[in-house]
Amino acid sequence: MASIVALLHGPDQRGLVARVSGWIFERGGNILHADQHRDREAGIFFQRVEWEPAPGSQSADTAAFLSFAAELGMTARVADSSRRTRVAIFVSKADHCFHDLVLRSRAGDYTADFSLVVSNHRDLASAAEGYGLLFKHVPITGDTKSAGEAAQLELLREHRIELVILARYMQVLSADFLERFGKPVINIHHSFLPAFAGGRPYHQAHSRGVKLIGATAHYATRDLDEGPIIQQDVARVTHRHNVDDLVRRGRDLEKTVLAQAVRWHLENRVLVYGNKTVVFD
């Protein structure tokens, strides 16, 4: 039986856990997983709860829980755990994150349909087609950015895309694009943000002589590399490592960090508030 997942947050108050679990019990549901967090500084309560509804009440419970959460003064998002998200991958020339995501999808790691690959280069066309994925080449230059993004948005609309993954897509999406798409975009940045935002972060890290390099998966916003962070990881380096060494070590981080962030998003484990996230892992 498909389960229901609810993510909710709002002002902290006594009895919230009891009221939520009681509501599910009264409707004949069975809680499979529940987790909560309290931001003491902000006074905000966060919860993720997953339950099996009584037979035949899936749709009714989904709608009713939203009303119930509003009565509690909470903001809620409710999802069907069996629903498959339609995903587009944006790529440029680097292929490590692209292959990793597609192979994980083919192995059944994600409740999602990878429906479209969009690129500003043709380098990965044959690889995408080899996986049986639709590949669309949309060139982007300084003079054609507006028209190119319009073409990309039309592709996303045509294929009913609900999530875009920037798998080392080396173009900055405009604020207009993000607003018009209006759905989540997950980016992988090859540094431990907020350090070394922008271009050539491994070169920046080498020049600074850091002893740790990292990778950061975050939601894309109008502010470059400043969106809510979903997942990060690091690797130790020394003065003996040159830039190529950092790039090679960084690729492994990029793949695992992006894969984990995508999984958490698709499993409805990420709750965004302000420019932060609570991840119920």
Residues marked active site are found at 225
Judge contact between 9 and 46, C-beta under 8 A: yes
Closest CA to 79 of 182, 8, 178: 8
Closest CA to 76 of 268, 276, 222, 208: 268
